Amino acid sequence: MIKTKARPDEVLFRGLTGAFAVLVIVGVGAIGFELFRQSQLSIKEFGWQFWQTDTWDPVAGQFGARPFIWGTLYSAILALIISSPVALGIAIFISELCPDWMRWPLVFLTELLAAIPSIVYGLWGIFVLVPVVRQLEVATPDWLRSVPLFSGPPLGVGMLSAALVLAIMVVPFSASVAREVLKAVPQAQREGAYALGATRWEAIRMALFYARTGIVGAIMLGFGRALGETMAVTMVIGNNPQISWSLYKPQYTMAAVIANEFTEATDDLHLHALIEIGLVLFIITLIVNVISRLFIWSMAAQRGPRAARPATLKAAA
C-alpha cells in the first residue's frame, strides 16, 4: 500500500467516506434497537411466556408465539434436508466435473433461479405445486397415513408444499457459495489424490474434506435464507398456528404471520407482539448468518492459491 502523508484533504476524505461506513454499521444495530423498542409492550406483558404458549388470539389479547417458531424452524430444516444434497451436487458438478463450455450457462441458470422474485415462486406454488401435492396426499395409502409424519387432511397447502418451495429457492444460494468454496481448494489436493491412483470420486472427496467447513457454512447460509423467506411460504403453508410433525397439516411461520397480520393489527399490543416476533427472527437469522460467515471465512483463510476471488479471500484474512 502507498503511504501518503496525512494531509488535511486526506483526513477529510478518510473521515467522510469513513462516516458512511460507520452509517452502515450503525444501521444494522439500529434495526435491532428499533425492533426492541417497538416491541416493549409485548415483552413487558408476556415475558418468556410469549415463547412458551400456543394460543394466538388477537381478539382476546392472548399472544403465544411458539407455533410460529416451530413452523419457521421445521419448514427451514425440511427445506435444508431436501436442498443440501442437490446444492452440493450442483456445486461439485460445476466446479469439478463439467466441461468448460457448460460452466457459465449453468452458473447463469442457477443465478437465474436465485433472481426469480419470491412472489413468483409463491404464485407458482399456489396454482401449480399445491394441486400436485394435494393429489400426492390424496393418493397416500392408509397404512402410511397412520404415521404421524403423513397424517392430516389432504389439503395441498401445508408444510410439505412450503418445504418444497423453500428448498427450490434455497438451492441456488447454497450451491453458489459451495461452488466458490470448492474453487478455493488448491488444485494440488486433487492432483495429489489422482497421483496416488484415486478415482474421480475419491479425488472429489479429498476436495470436499478440505472444504468441509466452508461447505457447512454454505448450507447454513441457505438455512438463514429459508428462515426469513416470507411471501412464497405465506402463500402455500396454510397459515394455521399449530405445532405438528405432520407434513400435510397447514402450519404458520414467523415471517408469514408478520406479513399477514401487520396491517390488520389495530391495537398496540398486537402490533408489538408481531414486532417482537420480527425481533426474534432478526436475532435468529443474525446468529445463523454470523456462524455461517465464520465457517466460510475460516475456510478461505486456510490459504488456497489466489484462485477464485481475491477480494473475498483477502477479506477473510
Partner 1 sequence: MRDWYRRGLSHLIVGLCGLAVVLALVPLVLILFYVLTRGITSLNWAFLTRMPAPVGEPGGGMANAILGSLIVSGLGAVFAIPIGIISGIYAAEYAGTRLASSVRFAADTLNGVPSIVIGVFAYGLAVLPFRQFSALAGGLALGIMMVPLIMRTTEELLRLVPTSLKEGALALGATRARAVFTVVLPAALPGIMTGILLALARIAGETAPLLFTALNNRYFSTDIRQPISTLTVQVFTYAVAPNEDWHRQAWAGALVLVAIVLTCSLLARVATARMERLHRGS
Please give the residues from 94 up to 153 whose contact with partner 1 meets the rule CB under 8 A: 94, 97, 104, 106, 108-113, 115-124, 126-128
By CB under 8 A, tell whether 3 contacts partner 1: no
Binding mask 46-85 for partner 1 (x = CB under 8 A): ---------------------------------------x
Contacting range for partner 1; rule: CB under 8 A; set: 133-141, 148-156, 209-217, 224-232: 224-232
Total residues at the site for partner 1 (CB under 8 A)? 97
By CB under 8 A, tell whether 267 contacts partner 1: no
By CB under 8 A, tell whether 20 contacts partner 1: yes
Taking the complex as a whole, the smallest distance from the CB of residue 27 to partner 1 amounts, in Å, to: 7
Which cell goes with 303? 490459504
Residue 285 near residue 224, CB atoms below 8 Å:
yes
Contacting range for partner 1; rule: CB under 8 A; set: 49-57, 58-66, 133-141, 270-278: 270-278
Residues 6+ apart with CB under 8 A from 130: 156, 157, 161, 236
Placement of cell 395441498 in the chain: 156
By CB under 8 A, tell whether 255 contacts partner 1: yes
- Which residue in the set 212, 303, 306, 309 belongs to the binding site for partner 1 (CB under 8 A)? 309
Nearer to partner 1, 201 or 209 (CB): 201
By CB under 8 A, tell whether 293 contacts partner 1: yes
By CB under 8 A, tell whether 259 contacts partner 1: yes
Taking the complex as a whole, the smallest distance from the CB of residue 5 to partner 1 amounts, in Å, to: 11
Distance of CA 124 to the CA centre of its chain: 20
By CB under 8 A, tell whether 281 contacts partner 1: yes
CB atoms near residue 52 (< 10 Å): 11
**First vs last C-alpha separation in the chain:** 16
CB atoms near residue 31 (< 10 Å): 13
* Alpha carbon separation from 222 to 64, 80, 99, 109, 317 (Å, rounded): 28, 8, 27, 18, 23
Angle formed at CA 226 by CA 225 and CA 230, multiple of 5 degrees: 95
Contacting range for partner 1; rule: CB under 8 A; set: 43-51, 53-61, 188-196, 276-284: 276-284
Which cell goes with 51? 415463547
Which 188-217 residues touch partner 1, going by CB under 8 A? 199-202, 204
Instruction: Indicate the burial class of 116 (C-beta count within 10 angstroms; 0-12, 13-18, 19 or more).
Output: middle
